[in-house]
A and B are shown apart, each in its own frame.
Chain A
């Protein structure tokens, strides 16, 4: 039997498959449909210091091979998350790991969320979201090297828990931002968030999405995600979590061979809540077929062509 476990971020993941932020709510929404405690873990919907109302509809629409969304980080805010959502995760995800996705308008905002949750039980660490394309200042920290460095440094001082930074694909060179996170004390990276996009209703001559633009996800972005994961993982020695369009074991293995230690399944859950478990089974099947005993043996195991 293939060993799917990974030891990283100071703990054990029973499998490399996590559910991506924004696609699994606070866990409870999928309790009847996904055996959450049998996968690697999940990343919560973003949590901000104050509740956020989110964007006007339409918030989602489909695009070729995927979808576009502009939810606008609607969330219950730090206090209600702590009181109403975290206890459920604590009770129900005993083996699977929980990362809390954190957003803010300012470095102080991010710091308040981390400080406000750090003493609680029931989660492993944080995924710092500096890469939401659907709110005004969503990528502020993710596209400014100085601001990113200051943010990660600040958060590093506030917590000993794992800090994973979720990177935006919308930068000329992701390896620069990956290195900045590593040098500023991040424990891991998530690559990538959605690509900004736009969809127009030609009959009405209007944008389909209420926010005008949104973030594109799904199978259409898989090759970009694999590429950027490869670029990021090649630039740092901290673990990288690969995200973008994964819907099968082979998709996940592309990310793993590119250097991802863990992966996240997102949009595919909307199509089939069983997809995360199927991705997990697909990875195990591959390992059996290729005689891979333990997952770390193939992380970054890509063979590149000889330079000519």
Chain B
């Protein structure tokens, strides 16, 4: 596992990417080199900034470049994400990472990425990595409405694949949810990241079709490195386990899905 690094990183770019959604790029060579798809970083503004909510928050790594840039998909949900969304050059964010267990990607089966909302982010990285390693990968990406959809051209440029788009209101792509109209004939390895109801539906689907599934979970996080024990999820054995260090990517059967 990679060793996490703490670094101040300059904001190189911040542009609107969809409704309430920003594409942020940070200059962060100390972290970019070691990162793997599915890993995350904690982004914050440091202990002296009391104008912002105090805790940093976790973001999946969306892209990384050879010259040390990290790209993130940031959707404004509250005060903390709003503060980060307002930042631009020449400001810096405090970054801790890379953190957590990445997706296990192998060539055993084609990879089918199921992305709900900003759950798209780790699959940008996974797609780029799959292209490098010559792995077959598809992306199904759903949003509520067209105005929330991240630019499909950018997805294509980053990953080399055409995203299969879904919106609930049908304004862009096919009308429906991520799991509607799925083609599973190639018996893929499923990778899922999105809201909890979507993940649960993925678990049902994988079980029904006998397909392997890895999920990236999200829980409120304090430290990101396993000390605070804040971000627990229920394991299949009934224990509370930390999503920051034991996840955020789990095989579906490692977790309990009882409500």
Contacts and interface: CB of A to CB of B under 8 A. Distances in A.
A binds B: yes
Interface of A: 22-25, 29-30, 32-33, 45, 53-54, 56-62, 64-67, 69, 71, 74, 218-219, 247-248, 267-275, 278
Given A53-B239, A53-B240, A57-B233, A271 B227 contact: no
A33 B54 contact: no
A54 B225 CA distance: 18
A201 B72 CA distance: 27
A74 B240 contact: yes
A272 B6 contact: yes
9 contacts: A22-B228, A25-B226, A33-B225, A57-B219, A58-B219, A59-B220, A64-B53, A74-B229, A74-B240
A59 B219 CA distance: 9
Nearest to A70: B230
A238 to B, nearest CB: 29
Given A62-B55, A268-B47, A33 B4 contact: yes
Contacts of A66: 54
A53 B46 CA distance: 32
Contacts of A71: 228-230
Contacts of A219: 50, 54
Q: Which secondary structure characterizes the binding site on chain B?
A: loop
A242 B80 CA distance: 29
Contact of B222 (A53, A69, A74, A248): A69
A269 B223 contact: yes
A65 B226 contact: no
Interface in B217-244: 219-233, 239-240
A271 B232 CA distance: 19
Given A29-B245, A71-B230, 8 more contacts: A25-B227, A32-B3, A59-B220, A59-B231, A60-B221, A61-B220, A270-B222, A278-B47
A269 B223 CA distance: 8
B48 interface: yes
A215 B229 CA distance: 14
List 9 tightest A-B contacts by C-beta distance, closest first: A60-B230, A25-B227, A247-B47, A270-B223, A60-B222, A29-B227, A29-B226, A59-B230, A58-B220
B96 interface: yes
Interface string B40-56: 00001011101001111
B46 A271 contact: yes
B32 to A, nearest CB: 17
Given A218-B54, A247-B47, A273-B96, A59 B223 contact: no
B54 A60 contact: no
